[in-house]
Structure 1
Amino acid sequence: MTIEDRRARDRATRRRLITSTARTVAEREGWDAVTTRRLSAEIEYSQPVIYKHFASLDEIADAVALEGFAELAAGLHEARTTVAPGDAPIAVARRYAAFATDAPAVYEAMFGRATRLRFGNGSAPAPSSAFAELRAVLEPRAGHDDVELLTETFWAGLHGLVVLQRGARLRPDLQEARIDLLVEKIVPAGLGGDRRR
């Protein structure tokens, strides 16, 4: 291994430590608790070292969001590909909701905080890969419908349910029933080209 390779590996290791520590603090205490002073104390790096790897706290949150999108995409892919095709939409929808519940600070970094990540134009690979998994489960059912629009609507429905549930705005015991209803209404088994408009 060359010196430059070792330096690159060390930089990547430090970046991962910073983002994982920010994520841990945010999950435990919320994003307001994530400061460079706090990260510095937690990982025993000076604040200048943290700024050497990330220009701002927003950049750290964006890095956490990108990790979250990659994890979400992997989870959705597993949910989609390990069940019968007819069961894939509900499996994917439930996995999406479980991800948001299990990692609320990461989900907030992905969707609730101001970000420089760009959505909807394919330029951000991690968000695009999560969207692609949702699209893949809907495409066989889209028929003549616009699969991108169908996927955006499905994603928006899931996101809305997750956010309202997390904010205690919905009855907690009905989350699974709401997800089932969303899937049934947006992607019923017969959805496709014969649907009358």
Structure 2
Amino acid sequence: MSVQERKERERAERERLIVATARELAEQQGWDAVTTRRLAERIEYSQPVLYGHFRGKREIIGAVALQGAAELAVAVRAATAAANGPRARVHALGRAYLDFAERNPAVYDAIFQLDGGLAYAQEDTPEPLKDAFAALLESLGEVAGEGVAPALFTEVFWASLHGLATLTRTRRLLPEDAESRLELLVDRLPVT
């Protein structure tokens, strides 16, 4: 291995460590607790080293968001692959989405609530975000209904899931009714 390859590998490892540490700290204490100073202390590097990878907290949030979007896509695809039939796939998709939001609140916030400097629904949208939407579209597009654009239907269904996830997490909706809400949403689809 050349010196250049070793340096690139070490740089990538430091970057992964920064993102993992930020994510862990945010999940434990919230995003307000994630500062470059605290991250530098936790990973035992100086703040200038941190700034050599990310210009600040906003870019770190963006990196966590991209990682989380990739994980969400994997979770949705795994859940829908195991389901039999369109309605079952949509239910599995909804359950996987809501479970992801519940298990990873700080990551979910990084993807959908916080400013990580990422472009959404644009040509320059990063691939992990596009792929997360594609994972939803793969199952929802087949149930959009006649005359309804699959992407538009996916956006509306996704917005419904996002609302359920956010309102449940903030205790504006009772968590014990989460499954009933998902069933109600899926039951409104014109498929069997």
Q: TM-score, normalised by structure 1?
A: 0.92
Deviation at 1:180, TM superposition (A): 1.3
Corresponding residue number in structure 1 for 2:15: 15
Q: Is the 8 A contact 2:140 2:154 kept in 1?
A: yes
For residue 140 of structure 2, the aligned residue among 134, 138, 154 is 138
For residue 160 of structure 2, the aligned residue among 129, 132, 157 is 157
For residue 125 of structure 1, the aligned residue among 120, 124, 127 is 127
> Mind listing any 5+ residue stretches in structure 1 that lack a counterpart?
191-197
Corresponding residue number in structure 1 for 2:75: 75
Corresponding residue number in structure 1 for 2:116: 115
Deviation at 1:141, TM superposition (A): 2.0
Q: Is the 8 A contact 2:60 2:116 kept in 1?
A: no
For residue 177 of structure 2, the aligned residue among 164, 174, 177 is 174
**1:100-111 matches, cutoff 5 A:** 100-111=101-112
Corresponding residue number in structure 1 for 2:96: 95
Structural RMSD (CA): 1.2
Instruction: Provide the C-alpha distance between the structure 2 equivalents of 1:42 and 1:151, rounded to a whole number of angstroms.
Output: 40
Instruction: Provide the C-alpha distance between the structure 2 equivalents of 1:69 and 1:172, rounded to a whole number of angstroms.
Output: 24
Q: Any idea what the Cα deviations from partners look like across 1:104-157, whole Å, max 9, x if unmatched?
A: 000011111123211112532111111101101022223431101100000000
Give identity over the alignment, percent. 45
Q: Is the 8 A contact 2:142 2:150 kept in 1?
A: no
Instruction: Provide the C-alpha distance between the structure 1 equivalents of 2:190 and 2:128, rounded to a whole number of angstroms.
Output: 28
Q: TM-score, normalised by structure 2?
A: 0.95
Corresponding residue number in structure 1 for 2:39: 39
> Mind listing any 5+ residue stretches in structure 2 that lack a counterpart?
none
8-17 vs 143-152, which moves further: 143-152
Aligned-partner SS, 2:13: helix
Q: Any idea what the Cα deviations from partners look like across 1:48-80, whole Å, max 9, x if unmatched?
A: 110111111110010000000000000001011
91-100 vs 134-143, which moves further: 134-143
